[in-house]
Structure 1
Amino acid sequence: MNDIEILEISPHDTVWATFLEKTPHLLFHTPQWCDALSQGFGGPSYCLLFRQGETVVAGVAGTVVATLGFRVFMANFPYGGILYAPGAAPVDSEILAQLLSQWSKSRKIMSIRLVQPPGTAAPTGGAFKAIPMTSQVVDISQIHDSESLLKSYKKSHRRNVRRALRNNISVLETSHAEHISAFYGLYVESMKRNNAPIKYTLDMIQSIVSSLTSTKSGALIIAKHEDKIIGGIIIADSDVSSHYLFSGINSHGIKYCASEVLLQYAITRAVYQRKQHFDLLPSGNAADSLRQFKAKWGAMEVPAPVADLEIKPLESAMFNGLKRMASTSLGRTMLRTLRGSKS
């Protein structure tokens, strides 16, 4: 396979569209998602094709994320990784690393992160650094309605969900600007309460919600109690899966179990859309309580491996040091100050 070449194209190139038509993929590989990330992150999106002669054997969609001058090619958020054409053999990791490194240098990119969808394999060996990761996925392929969904839960969780549904919480799918701003406030409040970094800006959330709602490929779902917004989640829809992207809740929402109401609504929505899976996404370094909350819904852990490729090791070391600092209380305060009004 040493005759493979790499070709950079726009996400809107017809060649990329043809590749996706022939290759099973997620929403996160599509041009509209790349556009949403470009607008939200403020960096360009690229699609990379790997060709052997005239045959496309693999492709990558990703977005450049620049933080304090450090440029990372994220392929993609939340998933992307390497897509292989049907019947194509995986590209040798050393060859893949060489091609990606050459391309990255031309775009002044410090490192590449390949985030594989659940159940797929990441490149290993050579210059790639493997990072084990799992997503938590609910199998809803045999669930046909809301009642059978409830019956699929353990007795204690089923009782808690039904109790939450009696709390007079109204649920609404929305794309109104004031609702997006309110949701972002809940997201920030949740991150601060959990002592977690605020990774995403209001611009990012606005861009994603706008893309999802305009293409009918997802939704912002909010919960209200006594006409006050107390919680919200953002859901993205691929062909066979729905993905839980973001959430936010305030103390009032915690009291009235808004998270249970919202997630029950979202999974039921996926059931009626005839999805096969509801993907709760990796929990990362989150507390065990979050993993336990996801497990209550019948979620199983599925490998979703990550592979990092450092193009500029010194810059990568500096960047990783800054990320570690950002996980501290002082670092989060500094990051919010740098972001200014965007956080």
Structure 2
Amino acid sequence: MTVFTGATDIRLFAALDKFNGRTHLPHWTTDSCNRMSGGSDGSLFPPRIQPDTVLHVFDKDMCRKLPLVFKKQVEGKGGVKAYRFGPDHRAFADPDHEPENKCYCPSLNSPSANSTSSSSSSTTSMPMMSTKTNFPQCAPHGTFNVSLCQYDSPVLLSFPHFYMGDPRLREAVLGMDEPDADRHEFYIDVQPEMGVAMRARARVQINLAVSQVVDIKQVATFPDIVFPIIWFEEGIDELPDNVIQLLKLATQTPPVAKAALQYALFASGAVLLLLALGCLVRNSHRQETMSLEGTAHYSQDEKKKPKKTIPPAPMSATVLSNGNGTAAKANAGYVADDE
């Protein structure tokens, strides 16, 4: 099995590329049902999984990809959040309930169909199979026919106690319990940010398709029935503690660091803004003070500067004789009294 590393496209991380050197299976009737690419082995999935994501798990025993849909959110070991995914009723639905599953019905001209029809005088080679021309050899609702990829053995797979299957399958067998999701559901708990499977329970029931064959005395009186043989479960309960710690570090630390960084950047921006405003106000006050000081110095300089006085014009005195021998200052602006 080869898978993608996600180096060029993270959405393909852990997705199946080839199985046994093949990208497609040879068993089914359409390319989409035979295609293995895009599935997963169930342990890793692409990161950033959303509740509306449909996961696909390739099962080599089923010879197909099994679609898993979101069921609910759960909490794993250490408080790590996980999404529970599992098959819904469409996974093993017959074509009457899910037309896309028509491709999983073995063709009438397949080796298994020819061999069973030649060895039986009955009109149906498999019990409770649809006799409609459009859906030949289809398994009952809630079961899956794997005869084409399991050496033509008349084996039908289902979930335990025909969970999500046709109630008539369970009613035809004595001792069958009422299906319970907690005990019989197939599920995988996936950590959504990392795409790591944290807990899984793969529960499958193996059934034998028994047909009435009148030519064989031992089963000539047998009714057509899907007879349960065994059901089993496999999976993991919890991941090791060191892996849980790494998951917590990878999923819980970044959001806390992101929030702390946002607050730190906001606080730093506010401090820088206040500093800028403080510097602006300080510079404005300094310029105003310098302007006032300049005006004051100018006024003081004006007061200290001596006033320029205009000297009186020189007076010329012309002595006039008035005949009495007395001189008169004609240009002095006054007439001196006689002494």
What range is the shorter-chain TM-score in?
under 0.3
Q: Which TM-score applies when normalising by structure 1?
A: 0.20
Higher strand content, 1 or 2 = 1
Q: Which TM-score applies when normalising by structure 2?
A: 0.20
Larger Rg belongs to: 2
Higher helix content, 1 or 2 = 1
RCO greater where, 1 or 2, for CA within 8 Å and sep 6 or more? 1
